[in-house]
Amino acid sequence: MQILKNISLKKYNTFGIDVNASHFCEITSVAALIEVLKSTEHSKKFILGGGSNMLLTQNIDALVLFINLKGIRVIAEDGDDVIVEAKAGENWHDFVLWTLSQGYGGLENLSLIPGNTGTAPIQNIGAYGVELKDVMVSCEAVERSSGTIKIFSNAQCKFGYRDSIFKNEAKEKYVITSVRFKLQSVNHQLNTSYGAIENELSKLGISAPSINDISKAVIRIRQSKLPDPKVLGNSGSFFKNPILSKFDFDRFYANHPEAPFYEVDKNTYKIPAGWLIEQCGFKGKRIGNTGVHEKQALVLVNYGGATGNEVFQLSQRIQEKVKEQFGITIVSEVNIIR
Ligand code: EPU
C-alpha cells in the first residue's frame, strides 16, 4: 500500500475544486482497507468515493482513502429476478450500462448519475421516479473504528429522500465496500410515469419502450439540462427540494398559485428548489468563477478556478434570498467539507 504526500484532489471531485490532501492512498482491496483503518499511523482519515456529492473548501489534513474497489458479479438468479453485486469503486453509470447490456432491468431511470456505486446508498440517489432504495437489497460496509465487516439490509439503511443512516447515526462510521441490487432479467417493470420521460419517449416516437429506450430518454433529458462535470465542474443538485407541511404549503400556494409542486402524501408537499431559486433571479447568474446553471437553477457550477468557499458563499446567498422571498429554508444536498 503506497501512501502519497501532497496530492491535488482536483480530478477526484466533480466540482473540480483544487485542494490538496496531505496524505493519499488508493484502496483496491477490502483487506487493504481493513489494514489501513486499523493502523494508528494516521489518526485522521477521510473517505473519498466518486467525489460527486461533496464541496471541498480547504486542504484535507488527513489520510485520504480513495475507495477504488472494482468488480461486478451475478450472485443469484431466481425466476425473473437476478441479484447483482457491484464493488464500491465502480462508476455508477458504467455499472448501469453493464446491467442494460446483460438485459437486466431496474436501473435504467438512474442512468448518467455521476459518482460511484459505493456512495449511491449514502444519499439514496434518485431520478425520474426511481430511487436507489427501490432496487437495493443490501450493502456491505467496514466499520471504521474496528475494521469489522457489516451487512446493512435495505431496511437497516433507513432510506429517505436523499437520506440514509449513513448521513445520520452512522455518519462517518462506515466505509461502504459493495452494493447488491435486485434486478429483473425478464418481465421488466418499467417506470415511465415521470412526465419528462413520457414526453421524451413520445418525441422519439416510442410507444412500447424497452429498458434501453428508457435509459436513452433519461440520458437525453439529463444532457439537455444538467452540465457534464467533465466540461463544467458541478455536483448535480446542490440543494434538496424543500418539503412543506400541508399547513405551510396552503399558505405558500395561496400566494404562489403558479408554483410547481409534488404531493408527497396528504400532509406533505415538495416544492422544486430550482423554481424558487429561479424566481429569486439567480438562474444563469455568474459571480466570479462560480454561478448558477443556466438550464437548471438547482445546480451550482465552477467556471474554472473557483474555490470551495466561493461556491459555499454563493449557496448561502441563495439560501438567504429564498428565505427572504418565500419564507422557505432550503438545505444543501451536497456534503460541504469545512
Ligand atoms: N424548475 C424551474 N427552474 C429551474 C429548475 C426547475 O422552474 O431552474 C422547475 C421545473 O420547471 C419543474 C420542476 O422545477 O417543474 C422540477 O424540475 P426537474 O424535473 O428538473 O427536477 P428537480 O426537482 O429540480 C430532482 C432531483 C434531480 C433529478 C430530477 C429528476 C433533487 C434535489 N433533485 O430535481 O436529481 O435528476 O429531480 O428526477 O431531488 C441530483 O440529485 O443531483 C439530481 C440532479
Q: Which of 162, 222, 310, 332 is catalytic?
A: 162
Q: Are 15 and 115 in contact (CB under 8 A)?
A: no
Query: What is the per-residue pLDDT for 163?
Result: 97
The three-state (H, E, C) secondary structure of 200-219, written as one string:
HHHHCCCCCCCHHHHHHHHH
- Residue with CA at minimum distance from ligand 1 atom 37: 127
pLDDT of residue 95: 98
pLDDT of the residue at 193: 87
pLDDT on residue 19:
98
Determine the pLDDT at residue 28.
Answer: 98
156-208 pLDDT per residue, tens: 999 999 999 999 999 999 999 999 999 999 999 999 989 899 999 999 999 99
**Sequence-ordered list of residues with C-beta below 8 angstroms from that of 89, at least 6 positions apart, any chain:** 28, 49, 67, 68, 69, 70, 116, 117, 118
Q: Is residue 162 annotated as a catalytic residue, yes or no? A: yes
If you measure from the C-alpha of residue 296 to the centroid of ligand 1, how many angstroms do you get, rounded to a whole number? Answer: 7
pLDDT at residue 295, as a whole number? 98
User: Residue 205 has what pLDDT?
Assistant: 95
- d(CA 113, ligand 1 centre) in Å: 13
Q: Which residues contact 78 (CB under 8 A, 6 or more apart)?
A: none
Question: Cell numbers at residue 51, please?
Answer: 467525489
The CA distance from 38 to 81, in Å, is: 38
Predicted TM-score (pTM) above 0.95:
yes
pLDDT at res. 189:
95
Q: What is the pLDDT of residue 1?
A: 81
User: Which residue ranges have their beta carbon within 6 Å of ligand 1?
Assistant: 127-128, 196, 226, 236-237, 240-241, 260, 272, 274-275, 278, 283, 296-298, 333
Q: For the chain, how long is the longest CA-to-CA vector? A: 61
Cβ-Cβ contacts under 8 Å for 42 (sequence gap 6 or more):
3, 23, 62, 63
Tell me, in angstroms, the distance from the centre of ligand 1 to residue 7's CA. Answer: 35
Whether 237 sits among the annotated catalytic residues: the reply is yes
pLDDT for the residue 139: 98
Residue stretches of the chain with pLDDT short of 50: none
Residue-level pLDDT at 174: 98
Helix axes 211-225, 195-203, angle to 10 degrees: 100
Give me the DSSP letters along 15-65: T----EEEEEEEE-SHHHHHHHHH--S-S-EEEESS--SEEE-S-EEEEEE
Do 9 and 50 form a contact (C-beta atoms < 8 A)?
A: no
Please, which residues have CB within 8 angstroms of residue 146's CB and are 6 or more apart in sequence?
A: none
pLDDT of residue 220: 97
Q: Give the pLDDT confidence score for residue 54 in this predicted structure.
A: 97
Residue 23 has a CB neighbour count (10 Å cut-off) of: 20
